[in-house]
Amino acid sequence: MTITIYHNPDCGTSRNTLAMIRQSGEEPDIIEYLKTPPSRERLQALITAMSMKVRDLLREKGTPYAELGLADPKWTDEQLIDVMQAHPILINRPIVETPKGTKLCRPSEAVLDILPNPDIGPFTKEDGEVVIDSERRRLV
């Protein structure tokens, strides 16, 4: 079974998502998308698989979003994909693909919805937020 994560190791949400995947017993294919951005076709396929609008995949924080004027509705989906290709930091993360689906995992615990084995046991995020307690109750 193949699980793929489009990962940014500098992002806490991405690191937490990766940790939950590993705790589920899987070692995913890790694509550091800032170093190896998805092709235009792959990016479009991910957006389609997630049933989301192109604009909904844009990341604003810590990116050239404002500087490029991307809030302006004049931008077409094709143009936005071009901009994400030129500036991969604009692609929100982490995106995870599993046999159960493809999802933008923000918050990180959203990955539990598509893991083949979502019973990962107790899990606490890097910041101390408990996702699953010692009694295996999902808290967030």
Q: Write out the H or E segment, with its range, that includes residue 96.
A: strand 95-98
C-alpha distances out from residue 59 to 23, 83, 87, 90, Å: 27, 12, 11, 5
Q: Which residues are paired to 81 by β-bridges?
A: none
Marked catalytic residue, from 3, 5, 8, 11:
11
- Coil, strand or helix at 12: helix
11 is catalytic: yes
- Residues forming the active site: 11
